[in-house]
Amino acid sequence: MATLSRIGGRALADLLPELRTMPGPVYASLAHAITSLVLDGRIATETRLPSERELATALHMSRATVTSAYDAMRAEGFLASRTGSGSYVTVPPGSRPRNSLVRWTTYTTDAADVIDLSCATLPAPPDIIAEAVADAAGRLTPYLLGDGYEPAGLPVLREAVAARFTQRDAATRPEQILITNGSLHGLDLLLRLLVGPGDRVITELPTYPGALDAVRAKSGRVLPVPMAAAGGWQVDQLRAALRQTAARLAYLTPDYHNPTGALVPEADRREVFKVARQTGTTVVVDESFVDLGFEGTERSSAAVDPSVIVVGSLSKPVWGGLRIGWLRASTDLVHRLAALRTSIDMSGPVLDQVVASILLPDLDTIAAARVVQLRPRRDALVAALADELPSWRTTLPQGGLSLWAELPAPLSTPLTMLAAQVGVVVVPGSRFGVDGTLERFLRLPYALPADRLRDAVHRLAGVWAQLDQGGVASRQLVVA
Ligand SMILES: Cc1ncc(COP(=O)(O)O)c(C=O)c1O
């Protein structure tokens, strides 16, 4: 099996801190620094490292120093070799998390007042759903005369979704739209159709855990490509991953990415989509959060490149309980996906689709009200973190429902376990990656009212102090 991609000596040198000022031998600092980049998701596992000679030249140090560093990493289980692939970074056996939907794992807490930050999602807006349901009930009679099965979706809703894409600069016919039970359902259908055991699927790192689980459920191989530290894509790395791996599919979330909230500029999208076309990789863009931007939205990715497949839904701007989503692709692909669907769930619910067709023309207004509600919550969360946990670093999300906090030590999992004891339910950073990395990060949704978020941060600060006082924060991470 080939490794994911290769990092050059110069590129690796650019990611490393100043090693000579660190205590202890330089080779140990180098080994530790590269290992930390792997654990923090800055270098994806299975990336081939530069040769010892190349890195030594880039770092202006002796080849023996680099050899010792690589030996130390190998001894700790962070470096391995494969014939024909050179030395590639990895994590020790036993550190890979099991597939699980964290939603269904249990946590124990004696706290009477639980603040649930496990989901980046909002309750339904008041009145809007009830009014649309009443309206839809009045429009139901003609549908009741038919059999109710429309595997591709009700024509009225396919038209409304197509019109919305057309409005956003991506001219779309209703035949190009498949109505799904949410955007994850759309991704799952695509994976079933296009990805077989062992096929490679490029994702961002971090990314939405549901997508990772869906790829693994088809026995696909996830190839995570690290996001830039400041947010957004590392176009060079995505380009390299596409060119070097012959990936079958790339799942990307350029519009207010979950968990970082980043918005990827159009020029970066155009370049990545172009390379994917050259390598024959199907790109699936997840637009789940596209309507929840603080800064105004880029054009739909389908307008940037019509060959890109887009999945989206009403779950984030309106309500997850509706279970209404869509997929935009070629007419032929929509046909094949609708046929596949009949072997799984036959069709979507008629009443809910009528409700969605009533809501869709008002989506801009509904989403704008959401953004007005979310901005002070985001700001309150950022301010509370700056106040109570100043050693945590945050990047201001440009949209979406969560921020991605960087902790000063890789303690996300122990922190979430302690947090549950004081009634704060959070998901550790490692859940948004593969291989047990990203332990230095924590996703914090800001969907709750500002006072609840302040309370949550206050409780988190309390348990963080306990971890810190225990001296754990200064300990080297043991991935287990
Ligand atoms: C990026 C992303 N895609 C898809 C989903 C699933 O959404 P849906 O309810 O539309 O299936 C989520 C839910 O959190 C998400 O964050």
- Residues 364 and 323: their CA atoms lie apart, in Å, by 19
Using a 6 Å cutoff on CB, does residue 292 contact ligand 1? Answer: no
- Residues 397 and 41: their CA atoms lie apart, in Å, by 19
Residue nearest to atom 14 of ligand 1 (CA): 120
Using a 6 Å cutoff on CB, does residue 313 contact ligand 1? Answer: yes
Residue closest to 237 by CA, chosen among 477, 4, 479: 4
CA of 258 to the centre of ligand 1 (A): 9
- Write out the chain's pLDDT in tens, 480 residues: 445 688 899 989 988 888 887 788 999 989 988 988 888 888 888 889 999 999 999 999 999 999 999 999 999 888 998 877 688 988 887 665 544 444 445 555 666 789 999 999 999 998 999 999 999 999 999 999 999 999 999 999 999 999 999 999 999 999 999 999 999 999 999 999 999 999 999 999 999 999 999 999 999 999 999 999 888 999 999 999 999 998 999 999 999 999 999 999 999 999 999 999 999 999 999 999 999 999 877 789 999 999 999 999 999 999 999 999 999 999 999 999 999 999 999 999 999 999 999 999 999 999 999 999 999 999 999 999 999 999 999 999 999 999 999 999 999 989 998 999 999 999 999 999 987 789 999 999 999 999 999 999 999 999 999 987 665 554 444 443
Domain co-membership, 329 together with 371 = no
96 located within any domain: no
- Domain end point (choices 302, 335, 364): 364
116 located within any domain: yes
CA of 428 to the centre of ligand 1 (A): 18
Q: What is the pLDDT of residues 163-207, one digit of tens each?
A: 999 999 999 999 999 999 999 999 999 999 999 999 999 999 999
CA of 240 to the centre of ligand 1 (A): 27
CA of 25 to the centre of ligand 1 (A): 46
66 located within any domain: yes
CA of 325 to the centre of ligand 1 (A): 10
Retrieve residue 299's tokens: 């054009």
323 located within any domain: yes
As for how many domains the chain has, the answer is 3
Retrieve residue 242's tokens: 């596409």
- Domain end point (choices 68, 89, 110): 89
pTM of the predicted protein model: 0.88
Domain co-membership, 379 together with 353 = no
94 located within any domain: no
| 3-class state of residue 283 by DSSP | strand
Domain co-membership, 299 together with 430 = no
Instruction: Please say whether the beta carbons of 315 and 292 come within 8 A.
Output: no
Give me the domain span that covers residue 288.
Answer: 128-364
Using a 6 Å cutoff on CB, does residue 258 contact ligand 1? Answer: yes
| 3-class state of residue 208 by DSSP | coil
344 located within any domain: yes
Specify the pLDDT at position 190.
98
Domain co-membership, 370 together with 418 = yes
Specify the pLDDT at position 242.
96
Domain co-membership, 209 together with 237 = yes
CA of 122 to the centre of ligand 1 (A): 12
Using a 6 Å cutoff on CB, does residue 181 contact ligand 1? Answer: no
Domain co-membership, 11 together with 112 = no
Using a 6 Å cutoff on CB, does residue 288 contact ligand 1? Answer: yes
- Domain end point (choices 311, 338, 364): 364
- Residues 64 and 423: their CA atoms lie apart, in Å, by 51
- Find the farthest-apart pair of alpha carbons in the chain and give their distance in angstroms, rounded: 80
Bond prior to 206 in cis (omega within 30° of 0): yes
- Give me the CATH number covering residue 16: 1.10.10.10
Domain co-membership, 201 together with 173 = yes
